Amino acid sequence: MKYDLVCGMETHIELSTLSKLFCKCRVNFGDSPNENCCPICIGAPGTLPILNKQAVRYAIRMGLALNCKINSFSKMERKCYFYPDLSKNFQTSQNDLPLCSGGFVQLESGKKIRINHIHIEEDAGKIKRHSDGIYVDYNRGGVPLIEIVSEPDISSADEAQEYIEKLQLFARYLKISSARMQEGSIRCDVNVSVKPSNSNELGTRVEIKNMNSISFISKAIAYEYERQSDALEGGLPIEQETRRFNEASGMTESMRNKENASEYCYFPEPDLLSICVTEKELDDIKKEMPKLFSERYDYYLNLGISEKFARLIIKYVNVSDYFDEVIRDCKVPDKIASIIVGPIFSYLKTEVEKEKFDISVSTDDLKYLGNLISEDKISNSNAQKVVSKCLENGFDLKEEVKNFISDDSFDLEKICKDVLSQNTEAVKDYKNGKEKAIQALVGKVMAQTKGRANPEKILSIMKSLI
């Protein structure tokens, strides 16, 4: 029998506020264990939380970006469970009245992954296992999170990957989170079930907890689909449970029976007021919304940027911001795109480096270079060489570019005639349809001019002479 995959995701995104959700402790990844803790975020008796308004605004931004309804009234609740990383023995979260409802994420195929809701909550601490014992770091405890709960609309590992990547982009373009899986600022619980292809009844779902790698999410979904399909084919029941993904074996492993909401004993947080979002506050947040990646992608295509380059640029918000600044009033945006995707991306080796996009070549430098290209004073290939040298050696771009500016003193027509007369076979090859032949001829002229002539101009002269 053939089985269909049914998948939904609960995605937790840490918000990039300066302080935690209910206290003034700072939020900073990588600090010494338990450096950023206070009586409020560890739940000492007698302390009172104060809700971080910026966290609420960030959550609303994500809700607007995902086409959600922003509820004018929502409330915080206590989610009661007992685990060492939760020093208060409850998590302050939202349940029946979340901040955002409905919405969707649209995939490249046009399919919409529906959003059930988005709520805000505090993060738990982090358990660290060492050879001499098990420790808990509460720095992360109380960090503001949004949890985005999808409907079970995902039907393949590829769709799951695209969905998560789009949530990452939304978070980064909205400037609400770094959304780095390697730092745990975006994590996923993946709910997987299978059902016979001819059935409309959903199967028993299994939750895979705390996935922090897109590739592992894909592998876990693929494994779980096979495991559940094989079990049903053999007449075995699927247990509703929570599982973990074993990175070494590539398999999921049982952790515990799956809890139901009633087991968490949700009840209203008595120390916090309800959240009321006024129309004015909502309008103010809407006015702050930036241009998102899909809008920028369409804009780049309209400028003549290739689909490949446009996708690579919008993948990193800092790159896109930098590119937008450079191409303002620029006549050669396609050439600027090729410099970014070419020598600059070659210099930035890792994904993290591309995300941070901390480079010595300023937007003013690249604007200046773009103007030289548009005025035919430097070729695109030489412009790329200039940028490479500046990045690798720390050269000043405006000084370095002087060594590459085209020299108009050459009699290019005479040099081209000489090269053509000395390479008759290459001329014949070009006339017979071999485009590469003329590029070789251009290269010979460039060699004679020591790279100081404009190759586009040489090519035009060559074609007119032939």
413 or 142, higher pLDDT = 142
- Opening angle at CA 149, ends 144 and 152, nearest 5: 160
Residue 264 and residue 83: Cα distance in Å, rounded? Answer: 12
Q: Where are the beta strands (DSSP E) in 182-296?
A: 186-196, 206-211, 241-246, 251-257, 267-268, 275-276
Among 15, 58, 27, 21, which Cα is nearest to 140's? 27
CB atoms near residue 247 (< 10 Å) = 12
pLDDT the model gives residue 260: 65
User: How confident is the model over 265-320, as pLDDT tens digits?
Assistant: 999 999 999 999 999 999 999 999 999 999 999 999 999 999 999 999 999 999 99
- Residue spans of the domains in the chain: they are 3-285, 291-403, 412-465
Confidence of residue 392 (pLDDT cuts 50, 70, 90): very high
CB 406 within 8 A of CB 380: no
463 or 116, higher pLDDT = 116
Confidence of residue 140 (pLDDT cuts 50, 70, 90): very high
pLDDT the model gives residue 408: 62
Q: Which of 187-191, 196-200, 457-461 is the most confident on average?
A: 187-191
Q: What is the mean pLDDT of residues 250-257?
A: 90
Among 51, 37, 157, 166, which Cα is nearest to 105's? 166
Record: fold of 412-465: Arc Repressor Mutant, subunit A (1.10.10)
Encoded tokens for 422: 């000395």
CA distances in angstroms from 78 to 75, 89, 270, 282, listed in the order given: 10, 10, 9, 26
pLDDT the model gives residue 407: 62
Q: What is the mean pLDDT of residues 205-230?
A: 94
Q: What is the mean pLDDT of residues 231-253?
A: 93
